[in-house]
Amino acid sequence: MRVLLFLLVINYASIHGQNTLQLVEEKQPAEASIALVSWLEGHWKGTAFGGVTEEIWSPIDDKSMMFIFRHLINGKVNFYEIGHIKEVDSSLVFELRHFDAKLHAWEEKNEVQQFKFIKHEGNRVYFDGFTFEKVSPNEINIYGLIGNKDGSESEVIFNYKKQ
C-alpha cells in the first residue's frame, strides 16, 4: 500500500506544477465555451523574465479571442507572441507562436504551440501547461510551464494589471 501511495504522489508531482496541470495523453479535453475566458479581454501589463510584459486580448469573435504579447528589457523588445483561445470540437484550445524582435518565428513554418483545455474551477481556467486566473476585474495571473535547457520544466507566473 505504501508503494502504491508513493507512486501516486510521484506521478501527481510529475504532471502538476504548483498552479498548472498537464493533460494525460489518453484523456480528452473537457467541454467548454469561449465565454468562459471573456474576462481576459483588454490591455494587461506586468513584469517577468527581467523585463516588462504586455498582453492585449481581443473581444470574442467567431468563437475565438486573439492576443498579442511582447516582452521588453530596458525598453527594447526581446520577443513577441501571437495567438488565440478558440472553441474546437465543443472544447477550447490555447495556441501561440513566438517571434524575435525582428519577427522571425521561433517555431518551424507551420508549427504552433498548442495547449488543450483541461477544466474550469472557481476563478481559474486550466489548459495543458497553462492556467489563467482572474484575481479581480483589474488583475489576472497566467501560470505557465516553461522548458529549461536541461529538459526539465519550471512554472512561471505572469501577474498583470489592467491598463
Dmax over CA atoms of the chain, in Å, equals 56
Residue with cell 507572441: 81
Residue type, 36: L
* H or E element that contains 146: strand 139-147
Residue 53 grid coordinates: 510584459
Sequence-distant (6+) residues with CB within 8 A of 119 are: 21, 30, 126
Give 141's DSSP letter: E
pTM of the model: 0.85
Q: What are 56-88's pLDDT values in tens digits?
A: 999 999 999 999 999 999 999 999 999 999 999
Q: What are 81-124's pLDDT values in tens digits?
A: 999 999 999 999 999 999 999 999 999 999 999 999 999 999 99
Residue 11 grid coordinates: 506521478
Tell me, what's the pLDDT at 26? Answer: 62
